[in-house]
């Protein structure tokens, strides 16, 4: 082991996913934002401003911009409303009326603290910075806008000079000294104030970033000469802004000198607005390159260039890379620039700039939605760019995780001297570094001191739910790791166009190749001695995801839930039938026969007296236990030779992985014992069928426990889409042979009932429900993904549970009973009806992926055509061979 463990291997899906998890979960220090408006002021500002810097009449054109259209789509997905601006506005207004505190908390979710520039709006309009503490885990801090302070002092001096009631002759004698004294005192007090962590200049808006580089005395003399005129005429000019370049330059120089000369070794930074802004901006003087001389004058003063300097992004990155005291912020471009533009900005800033000099902010202002959009879009773009870099080998996955943590948290924590404990926050959020083990380290930890296996299996489950795999000798596999070579395997793109006998869908070409990447976090021993197994994900040679990969679709469904504060646990029941093989003789097409009955019935004990059967069942449980899969129950089912084994709950992807591996283990042991294990949904015509019931519990990070208002919309969403979901849970004509009323199979109606085993959806307790309409011929990744997508959409849409609690077999309800309980739809009665229901369900098609649904539907129709040419018994035997 020592010869290869610890060597860096090429990036694998598990490592790329570790980077993605870091992007989604690292707590954010929002180092530059503005206060959220008070409720009475919200209606006075245009909501259109959330994705544009335009104002006045120009703002109305923003509705035809890419940033606006993207914001509409993202807000609609979060709000669960229509994908129009009017629907989004109405949904936001409803949030403001319903529970604005909860909505604000949702919008600011994931932000650890905010450093707030409170110089943009008055306290009459905006909430004071400590108000935001209720929505962040750590207290918010203040950024002092220096031009606002200078203008306020100037305004007071103007009143003292020109208001007869306040006239101050001392001010008239030397107005400049009075102004300078008050300004310096304010800045010095801010330097000593622990709640102030930095300063902000908007000179870019006033007279531009080309700040005069001249001796201090000369600058002050010129301003002093101007000052009497400024005071004399102040009433005729805008008292909110400094009007002369000399005075604006002096305000910035004076602040920088005070920071430079402060006694503290921990210098507080100055933020400079650069680039992107509204039409009040001095655009031709907004490039941060104008600040180069100023930067050189104050090498000990930390300087932050805000907003990536967009469109002067490369200039920003250059300055941050060559001057120790300069840092590059990449805020505000989220969400004011298009998706492609944001990707380009991130790539440009990383072209030259060390990530230890990069900070991120929302530039959130006025509306909580601006924070939400900035965070959502940042995570999306960071994941696209950084995961692409990792796949291409431009950066190691560990380094990418470090980059994310530095840019989103650590750099700002250090620069602003916040002293937040990242390690403690890591532990709280489950983001400890130990969760990012390399593939070699995962393999080493998995094997421990056990003997090395002979083979490594990399498995996948195709559109026919056939478990397939590639096998690599262990020596070869470890040599790839030790040499830093990829462990992924080339698989034909026809993989998602093959029937169980390898017939190819006519519309599919056998040319082209996907890469099957092993996920080392799914490692399991078995299913036979000398083998270890893990599941793989399909990627394009470029590293891009393959839309047909079932495991990737399920991961996307889980992420969809996580984005909406939902998490899940899933446990499967494995019903199976043991049959005996029949010796082949001429003219006899029967391959399998049922076991001797011996009074077999549901949950009876007598059948376990058969030593061969009891030994096999014991070995199954024991083998799974050795693999860390702890069976919860095992009992006889109703049909002769039929049993049920219950698995423990896991997170969704792990649950599907475990289900498939467990089946392989059980099948291998049954074969070794001289039996055939089958999952055929209706192996015995006049006996109970064989299912694969799915137990599901849902929880929310924002709503408490098992409250109906938390889980009912989820299961209402499942029921709303259940007819379409059936295309993934009942996938074969044999599935519909099992699905009948009065057989505890979940029946044929769209409904639910508390502890009702004749209902398709059985409520067990609280948020724990059971989906009964699924069998062993379903691809569990696709089936579970369809259920999760449907449920999460129900939560987003606040879907009401219009179905009443059905307490009896739905088939026995009268017409009035059905009307009263809302039981109005039957489940599809065939594969064809299930596929038609899926294609008609636009929402589920969009969530699962239109390309996947089209290919899956074509495959199922091809399979139906093939199976339809067989006789009933031939088809039963053929399916039992394979399942």
Residues whose CB falls within 8 Å of the CB of residue 163, separated by 6 or more in sequence, listed in order: none
The DSSP string of 145-203 is EHHHHHHHHHHHHHHHHH-TTT--HHHHH-HHHHHHHHHHHHHHHHHH-TTEEEEEE-H
pLDDT at 6 over 50: no
d(CA 543, CA 254): 52
Give the tens place of pLDDT for each residue, 563-609: 888 888 999 999 998 888 877 666 666 777 787 766 777 767 776 67
* Contacts by residues 816-822 (CB-CB < 8 Å, ≥ 24 positions apart): 821/751, 822/751
Are 592 and 676 in contact by the 8 Å Cβ rule? The answer is: yes
Element (H, E) at 677: strand 675-678
In which residue are the tokens 């693999």 written? 627
- Lowest-confidence pick of 13-17, 44-48, 151-155, 777-781: 13-17
Residue 234 scores a pLDDT above 60: no
Of residues 403, 379, 378, the one with CA closest to residue 389: 403
pLDDT at residue 547 tops 80: yes
- Listed in sequence order, the residues at least 6 apart from 869 whose beta carbon sits closer than 8 Å to its beta carbon are none
Closest CA relative to residue 117, chosen from 42, 53, 33, 179: 33
Taking 90 as the threshold, does the pLDDT of residue 459 lie above it?
Answer: yes
Q: What is the DSSP pairing of strand 358-359 with strand 768-771?
A: unpaired
| 500 sits in which H/E element | none
Question: b/e per residue, 478-504, with b = 16+ CB within 10 A?
Answer: bebbbeeeebbbebbbbbbbbbbeeee
Question: 108-117, 414-423, 836-845: which range is least confident on average?
Answer: 414-423
Percent of the chain, pLDDT > 90? 48
Using alpha carbons only, what angle is made at residue 541 by residues 539 and 543, rounded to the nearest 5 degrees?
55
201 forms beta bridges with 272
- 528 vs 430, residue with greater confidence: 528
Q: What are phi and psi of 524, to 5 degrees?
A: -140, 150
DSSP string for residues in 534-577: EEEEEE-TTSPBPTT-HHHHHHHHHHHHHHTTEEEEEEEEEEEE
The average pLDDT across 728-752 equals: 83
Among 348-362, 797-811, 859-873, name the most confident range. 348-362
The answer to whether residues 329 and 31 touch, using CB atoms and an 8 Å cutoff, is yes
Sorting pLDDT into bands at 50, 70 and 90, what band is 117?
A: very high
Write down the domain spans for the chain.
28-421, 439-544, 554-882
Lowest mean pLDDT across 214-218, 442-446, 847-851: 214-218
Above 80 in pLDDT, residue 216? no
Find, among 328, 373, 321, the residue nearest to 346 by Cα. 328
Residues making up the chain, counted from first to last = 883
Query: Which of 383, 391, 308 is CA-nearest to residue 351?
Result: 308
Range with the lowest mean pLDDT among 2-11, 293-302, 407-416, 819-828? 2-11
Are 457 and 481 in contact by the 8 Å Cβ rule? The answer is no
Residue with tokens 């209402």: 716
- Band of pLDDT at residue 172, cut at 50, 70 and 90: low
pLDDT at 149 over 50: yes
Q: Is the pLDDT score of 672 beyond 60?
A: yes
- C-beta separation of 135 from 121 below 8 A: no
Neighbour count for residue 340 (Cβ, 10 Å): 10
How is domain 554-882 classified at the architecture level of CATH? 2-Layer Sandwich (3.30)
Contact between 526 and 628 under an 8 Å Cβ cutoff? The reply is no
What integer is the mean pLDDT of 817-832?
Answer: 88
Contacts of residue 417, Cβ cutoff 8 Å, sequence gap at least 6: 197, 266, 268
Closest CA to 307 of 296, 299, 294, 281: 281
What pairs with residue 594 in β-bridges?
Answer: 579
Fold match, 28-421 / 439-544: no
Instruction: Compute the CA torsion angle 621, 627, 632, 636 (nearest 10 deg).
Output: -30
Q: From CA 789, how far away is CA 504, in angstroms rounded?
A: 30
Which CATH superfamily hosts domain 28-421?
Metal-dependent hydrolases (3.20.20.140)
Question: Which pLDDT tens digit goes with each residue over 313-367?
Answer: 999 999 999 999 999 999 999 999 999 999 999 999 999 999 999 999 999 999 9
State the Rg of the chain over Cα.
Answer: 33
Q: Give the other-Cβ count within 10 Å of 474's Cβ.
A: 17
Query: Is the bond preceding 110 in cis, omega lying within 30 degrees of 0?
Result: no
Q: From CA 300, how far away is CA 658, in angstroms rounded?
A: 57
Does pLDDT of 520 surpass 90? no
Instruction: Please give the pLDDT value at position 391.
Output: 79
CATH of domain 439-544: 3.10.20.70
Residue 351: CB atoms within 10 A of its CB come to 12
Q: Which two tokens stand for residue 868?
A: 């339809």
Residue 538's pLDDT band, with cuts at 50, 70 and 90, is very high
Q: Is the pLDDT of residue 369 over 90?
A: yes
The number of CA neighbours under 13 Å toward the Cβ of 77 is 16
Residue 358 buriedness (CB in 10 A; 0-12 / 13-18 / 19+): buried
Distance from C-alpha of 474 to C-alpha of 532, rounded to nearest angstrom: 9
CB 557 within 8 A of CB 785: yes
> How is 574-637 classified by DSSP, letter by letter?
EEEEEEEEPPP-TT----EEEPP-TT--TT-SGGGG-HHHHHHHHHHHHHHHHTT----EEEE-
Q: Tell me 437's DSSP state.
A: -
Mean pLDDT of the chain: 86
């Amino acid at each position: 082991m020592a010869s290869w463990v610890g060597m860096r291997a090429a990036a694998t899906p598990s490592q790329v996913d570790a980077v993605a998890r870091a992007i989604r979960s690292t707590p954010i220090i929002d180092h530059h934002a503005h206060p959220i408006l008070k409720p009475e002021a919200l209606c006075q500002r245009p909501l259109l401003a959330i994705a544009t810097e335009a104002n006045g009449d120009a703002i109305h054109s923003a509705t035809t911009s890419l940033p606006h259209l993207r914001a509409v789509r993202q807000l609609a997905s979060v709000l669960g409303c229509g994908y129009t601006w009017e629907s989004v506005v109405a949904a936001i207004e409803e949030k403001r009326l319903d529970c604005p505190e909860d909505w604000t908390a949702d919008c600011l979710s994931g932000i650890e603290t905010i450093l707030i520039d409170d110089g943009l709006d008055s306290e009459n309009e905006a909430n004071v910075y400590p108000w935001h503490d209720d929505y962040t885990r750590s207290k918010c801090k203040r950024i002092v806008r220096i031009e606002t302070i200078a203008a306020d002092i100037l305004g007071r001096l103007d009143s003292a000079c020109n208001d007869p009631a306040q006239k101050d002759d001392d001010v008239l004698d030397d107005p400049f000294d009075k102004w300078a004294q008050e300004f310096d005192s304010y800045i010095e007090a801010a330097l000593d104030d622990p709640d102030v962590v930095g300063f902000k200049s908007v000179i870019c808006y006033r007279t531009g970033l080309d700040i005069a580089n001249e001796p201090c005395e000369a600058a002050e003399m010129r301003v002093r000469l101007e000052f009497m005129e400024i005071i004399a005429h102040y009433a005729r000019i805008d008292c909110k802004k400094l009007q002369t370049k000399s005075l604006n330059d002096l305000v910035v120089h004076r602040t920088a000198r005070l920071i430079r000369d402060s006694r503290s070794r921990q210098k507080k930074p100055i933020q400079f607005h650069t680039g992107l802004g509204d039409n009040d901006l001095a655009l031709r003087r907004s490039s941060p390159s104008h600040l180069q001389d100023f930067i050189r004058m104050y090498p000990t003063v930390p300087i932050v260039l805000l907003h990536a300097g967009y469109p002067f992004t490369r200039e920003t990155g250059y300055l941050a890379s060559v001057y120790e005291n300069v840092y590059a912020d990449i805020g505000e471009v989220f969400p004011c620039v298009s998706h492609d533009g944001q990707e380009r900005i991130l790539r440009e800033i990383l072209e030259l700039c060390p990530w230890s000099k990069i900070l991120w902010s929302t530039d959130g202002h006025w509306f909580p939605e601006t924070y939400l959009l900035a965070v959502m879009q940042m995570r999306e773009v960071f994941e696209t760019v950084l995961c692409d870099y990792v796949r291409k080998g431009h950066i190691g996955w560990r380094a990418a995780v470090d980059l994310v943590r530095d840019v989103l948290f650590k750099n700002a924590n250090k620069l602003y001297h916040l002293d937040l404990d990242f390690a403690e926050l890591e532990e709280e959020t489950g983001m400890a570094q130990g969760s990012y083990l390399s593939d070699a380290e995962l393999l080493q930890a998995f094997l421990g001191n056990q003997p090395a296996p002979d083979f490594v299996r990399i498995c996948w489950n195709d559109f026919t739910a056939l478990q397939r795999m590639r096998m690599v000798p262990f020596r070869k596999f470890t040599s790839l790791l030790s040499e830093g070579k990829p462990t992924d395997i080339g698989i034909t793109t026809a993989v998602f166009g093959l029937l169980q006998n390898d017939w190819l869908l006519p519309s599919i070409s056998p040319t082209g190749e996907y890469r099957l990447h092993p996920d080392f976090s799914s490692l399991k021993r078995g299913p036979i001695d000398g083998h270890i197994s893990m599941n793989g994900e399909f990627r394009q040679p470029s590293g891009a995801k393959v839309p047909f990969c079932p495991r990737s679709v399920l991961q996307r469904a889980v992420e969809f839930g996580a984005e909406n504060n939902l998490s899940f646990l899933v446990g499967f029941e494995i019903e199976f039938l043991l049959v005996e093989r029949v010796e082949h003789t001429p003219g006899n097409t029967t391959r399998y026969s049922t076991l001797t009955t011996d009074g077999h019935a549901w949950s009876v004990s007598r059948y376990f007296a058969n030593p061969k059967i009891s030994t096999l069942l014991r070995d199954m449980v024991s083998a799974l236990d050795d693999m860390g899969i702890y069976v919860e129950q095992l009992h006889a089912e109703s049909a002769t030779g039929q049993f049920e084994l219950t698995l423990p709950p896991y997170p969704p992807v792990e649950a599907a992985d475990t289900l498939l591996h467990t089946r392989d283990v059980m099948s291998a042991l049954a074969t070794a014992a001289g039996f055939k294990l089958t999952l055929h949904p209706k192996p015995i015509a006049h006996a109970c069928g064989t299912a694969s019931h799915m137990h599901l519990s849902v929880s929310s990070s924002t709503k408490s426990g098992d409250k109906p208002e938390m889980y009912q919309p989820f299961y209402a969403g499942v029921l709303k889409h259940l007819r379409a979901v059936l295309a993934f849970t009942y996938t074969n004509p044999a599935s519909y042979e099992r699905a009948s009323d009065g057989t505890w199979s979940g029946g044929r109606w769209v409904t639910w009932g508390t502890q009702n085993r004749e209902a398709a959806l059985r409520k067990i307790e609280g948020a724990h429900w059971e989906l009964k309409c699924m069998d062993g011929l379903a691809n569990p990744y696709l089936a579970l993904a369809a259920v999760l997508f449907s449920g999460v959409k129900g939560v987003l849409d606040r879907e009401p549970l219009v179905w009443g609690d059905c307490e009896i077999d739905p088939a026995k309800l009268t017409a009035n009973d059905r009307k009263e309980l809302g039981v109005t739809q039957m489940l599809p009665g065939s594969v064809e009806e299930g596929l038609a229901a899926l294609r008609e369900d636009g929402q589920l098609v969009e969530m699962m992926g239109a390309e996947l649904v089209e290919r899956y539907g074509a495959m199922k129709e091809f399979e139906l055509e093939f199976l339809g040419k067989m006789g009933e018994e031939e088809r039963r035997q053929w399916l039992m061979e394979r399942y």
